[in-house]
Structure 1
Amino acid sequence: MCNQCVIDGVRENMLSRRMLLGGAALGLGTATSLAVSPRRAMAQPVAASGKVVDLTHAYDGAFPTFDGVPGIVYEQAVKFDESGYQLYKLTIFEHTGTHIDAPLHFSSDGLSVDALAPQDLVCPLVIVDITDKARSDPNATVEAADIEAFISANGDIPAGACVALRSGWAAKVGEPAFRNDPQGQFAFPGFATSATDLLAQMDVAAIGVDTLSLDPGNSQDFAVHNSWLPGGRYGIEGLANLEELPVTGATIVVGAPKHKGGTGGPARVLALL
């Protein structure tokens, strides 16, 4: 057999294999894209700028709570000077500090915090700013009109996003005004059901607030808790440092606790830019 014949045969064989493998890879890619068609889309696959913003308040027994009872109690179980190491026994109420509300919090049979889908805990972060409204009304709410105005200015809110209310309230954490008005009544911003009903239609995964509750302080019926959470979605209360972020473009990572049957719990929440 001539050398050229051998060369031509090898070339033809390699070309055939390349076409076969290319087609297989294309088919695999198509199959994968069909099999994995997530409704969740990351704002950024990784922290593009390398910036990480901690959205979590450090908390202890002095951190404001809804019922006024300390949310966390430390008991020194092992002392360093006695044992060469140390540890604390902690008594923690689930809904204290920067924390997550699982669907089970306001439903008898909703998802517990350990059952939340991991892909719903890493999602695009959208921030709706109502700081101006909150200056004149401590019980200001995000309304459907605020969501519509946001979309008009910034584009659509992606399915699977976490939509956070930014009111400037996090700066009040060390003050009585974080929780109460001068008359001692609950007073802080939150969401209105007109907004959360609209966000539910958009397939938003979570809502968050930089205040004590998803509902405003003057709520008498916890309408947002009662409508948003039983729908299989979750909430985050007590967010910090939202002022450091743009209204779009960040990815939120919610380090939710994973105790079985939990209704929620303190969470380490980060934003990646």
Structure 2
Amino acid sequence: MCHACVMDSVQRQLLDRRRLLKAAAGFGLGGAAFAAGIPAPARAQPAATGRVVDLTHTLFPDFPAFDEGPQFALEKKFDLAKDGYNLHIIRVNEHVGTHLDAPLHFSADGISVAEIPVERLVAPLAVLDLRARAAEDPDAQVTPDDVKAWIAEYGELPAGACVALLSGWDSRVAEGTFKNLDAEGRMRFPGFHPEAVAYLLEETEAGGIAVDTLSLDHGLSPDFATHRDWLGAGRWGLECAANLAELPASGATIVVGAPKFQGGTGGPTRAIALI
């Protein structure tokens, strides 16, 4: 099937999905979902250009992580020449590379990565461009004012939206400065301020947040307050995203290919965006 045909088909499906979600909202399903503490299903926007952008870093053994040492490994178990096929055993930290944080990661009774309803993993994207600020200040954080400025320019956040921090930090993976350790060994990188999370929870129906840095919290966070408050409220987070600079501030749709590990607190993820 030709590329144009594929994209036309995807667009028709997304439009049909929007109609269904609108009808569901009319019957009060969105409100019921929020009454249960879960964001209403995302209203995905139809693709406008037909572009698909990979938001995922290639995972390799020395990908920077909070824990020291390799957090990912492929162990060759079967070899094509010897056994007739290739097969690896994968050993991986749940939270390395481009990965999803499930509510269970920072809550005693939150849902696991396998329990996140799949419709929550397709979401309209709101991209907050903090590159200029991050270039001057590695400790820059998304604030309520940043969210309000986006809303003032583009309109209210759609229900279930993913709010993404674009700091330009993704290029540092290849440069070897992703963790950005200072002279005291402290990590210095941007993230979401807890006040921004409080605003999103109280004033919007956002369902996810994403960062192109190592953590939802900024590097100097002493207590992971953003993780605790956001994931504890039943939302999800995407860390170590790539290529956010290729997306418009509004109008793209993120598709989060989260793993489905029983009891998992998260896991390496193939995330893409439709524009």
Q: TM-score range by the shorter chain?
A: 0.7 to 0.9
CA contact 2:189–2:218 (8 Å) conserved in 1: yes
- Output the amino acid matched with 2:181: D
Determine whether 1:223 maps to 2:225. Answer: yes
Structure 2 residue matching 1:217: 3-state secondary structure: coil
- Output the amino acid matched with 1:54: D
Distance 1:85 1:135 in 2: 47
Equivalent residues in 2 for 1:38-187 (5 A)?
Answer: 39-45=40-46, 47-183=47-183, 184-187=185-188
Distance 1:219 1:151 in 2: 27
CA contact 2:43–2:158 (8 Å) conserved in 1: no
CA distances 1:185-242 after superposition (whole Å, capped 9, x unpaired)? 2011000011111111212100000000000001111110111101000100000000
Distance 2:117 2:80 in 1: 39
TM-score by length of 1: 0.85
5+ residue gaps, structure 2 = 1-21, 32-39
Where does structure 1 differ by over 6 angstroms across 4 or more consecutive aligned residues?
29-32
Question: Do the aligned partners of residues 133 and 115 (structure 1) sit closer, same or farther apart at CA in structure 2, a change above 3 Å counting?
Answer: same
Identity of aligned residues (%): 49
Distance 1:30 1:227 in 2: 31
Distance 2:141 2:29 in 1: 37
Partner residue, 2:27: 34
Question: Do the aligned partners of residues 67 and 122 (structure 1) sit closer, same or farther apart at CA in structure 2, a change above 3 Å counting?
Answer: same
5+ residue gaps, structure 1 = 1-28
Deviation of 1:81 after TM superposition, in Å, equals 1.3
Partner residue, 1:22: none
CA contact 1:229–1:235 (8 Å) conserved in 2: yes
Q: 1:204 aligns with which of 203, 206, 213?
A: 206
Partner residue, 1:252: 254
Distance 1:128 1:109 in 2: 31
Distance 1:32 1:163 in 2: 22
CA distances 1:158-205 after superposition (whole Å, capped 9, x unpaired)? 121000000000011123321023423201100001111111121210
CA contact 1:130–1:166 (8 Å) conserved in 2: yes
Distance 2:91 2:52 in 1: 29
Distance 2:189 2:24 in 1: 49
Partner residue, 1:239: 241
Deviation of 1:117 after TM superposition, in Å, equals 1.1
CA contact 2:210–2:238 (8 Å) conserved in 1: yes
Partner residue, 1:15: none
Q: What count of residue pairs does the alignment treat as equivalent? A: 244
CA distances 1:119-163 after superposition (whole Å, capped 9, x unpaired)? 110010110111111011111100111111111122211121000
Greater alpha carbon shift after TM alignment, 63-72 vs 84-93: 63-72
Partner residue, 2:192: 191
CA contact 2:127–2:163 (8 Å) conserved in 1: yes
Distance 2:148 2:62 in 1: 38
CA contact 2:157–2:205 (8 Å) conserved in 1: no
Provide the aligned C-alpha RMSD in A: 1.8
Distance 1:37 1:140 in 2: 34
Deviation of 1:69 after TM superposition, in Å, equals 2.6
Distance 2:200 2:25 in 1: 29
TM-score by length of 2: 0.84
CA contact 2:75–2:88 (8 Å) conserved in 1: yes
Q: Considering only CA atoms, is the larger Rg found in Structure 1 or Structure 2?
A: 1
Structure 1 residue matching 2:174: 3-state secondary structure: coil
Question: Do the aligned partners of residues 204 and 32 (structure 1) sit closer, same or farther apart at CA in structure 2, a change above 3 Å counting?
Answer: closer
